[in-house]
DNA sequence: GCCAACGTTGGC
DNA sequence: GCCAACGTTGGC
């Protein structure tokens, strides 16, 4: 059982999109970064994932989803035979009453070393320790 | 819209 | 293997 955070632009795929179809999983594809891809390949069914909204009005963690299908060839890649890129399937778990903002996340001591709050970091799939996960939940 | 920071590409 | 040029990310 592991914990993760995944960034998304809510225009593309938001926590509301997950909530709208809470019974059916969403294919998380289109990741084109090796470090992020490698983390996706480590994901196991049942892992918990924060959904982080970036490049929008309310930047921050908006809710949680869960891994329901482990890494498989990303259907959106050019040459699917190469299996260069991976996708996972995720299903809705919870939408927070309000977004936990980036400023709030920066104020959480347990997150000080997390790439999410470090300047210039562009990693879109980030592993969370249980301590970090719990520290975020304590904010809700 | 701006721009700093970062990752990738490709010539050498 | 180096590194300049380029494209993208993402906060502001």
Dist. CA A135–CA A140, nearest whole Å: 10
Strand partners, A123: none
Cβ A51 vs Cβ A61: under 8 Å:
yes
Q: Across residues A44-50, what is the average pLDDT?
A: 98
- Predicted confidence at residue A81, as pLDDT, reads 87
Q: CB closer than 7 A to strand C: which residues? A: A 7, 32, 54-55, 59, 102-103, 122-124
Instruction: Determine if the pTM surpasses 0.85.
Output: yes
Rounded mean pLDDT, A102-131: 96
pLDDT digit string, tens, across residues A55-96: 999 999 999 999 999 999 999 998 888 899 999 999 999 999
What's the pLDDT at A78? 86
**What average pLDDT does this structure show over A17-44?**
96
- Is A37:A124 a contact under the CB 8 Å cutoff? no
Q: Which of residues 120-139 of A touch strand B (CB under 7 A)?
A: 120-123
Residue A60 exposure: Cα atoms within 13 Å on the Cβ side = 19
pLDDT for residue A108: 96
- Whole-angstrom distance, CA of residue A81 vs CA of residue A6: 26
Q: Return d(Cα A24, Cα A16) in angstroms, integer.
A: 13
Domains (range + CATH), chain A: 3-139 (3.10.590.10)
Label residue A112 by pLDDT band (50, 70, 90): very high
| Confidence bin at A35 (pLDDT 50/70/90) | very high
CB of residue A119 closer than 7 A to nucleic acid strand B?
Answer: yes
Protein residue minimizing CA–C1' distance to C8: A122
Contacts of A100 (CB under 8 A, 6+ apart): A60, A61, A136, A139, A140
Number of neighbouring beta carbons within 10 Å of residue A27: 15
Q: Which residue is nearest to nucleotide C12 (CA to C1')?
A: A55
With a CB cutoff of 8 Å and minimum separation 6, the contacts of A78 are: none
């Amino acid at each position: 059982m592991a914990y993760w955070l995944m960034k998304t632009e809510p225009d593309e795929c938001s926590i509301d999109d997950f909530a709208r179809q809470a019974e059916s999983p969403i294919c998380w594809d289109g990741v084109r970064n090796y470090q992020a891809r490698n983390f996706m390949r480590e994901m196991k069914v049942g892992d918990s994932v924060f959904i982080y909204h970036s490049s929008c009005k309310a930047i921050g963690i908006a809710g949680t989803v869960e891994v329901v299908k482990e890494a498989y060839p990303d259907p959106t890649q050019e040459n699917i035979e190469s299996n260069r890129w991976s996708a996972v399937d995720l299903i809705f778990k919870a939408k927070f009453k309000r977004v936990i903002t980036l400023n709030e996340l920066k104020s959480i001591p347990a997150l000080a070393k997390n790439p999410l709050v470090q300047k210039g970091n562009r990693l879109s799939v980030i592993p969370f320790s249980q301590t970090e996960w719990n520290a975020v939940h304590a904010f809700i």
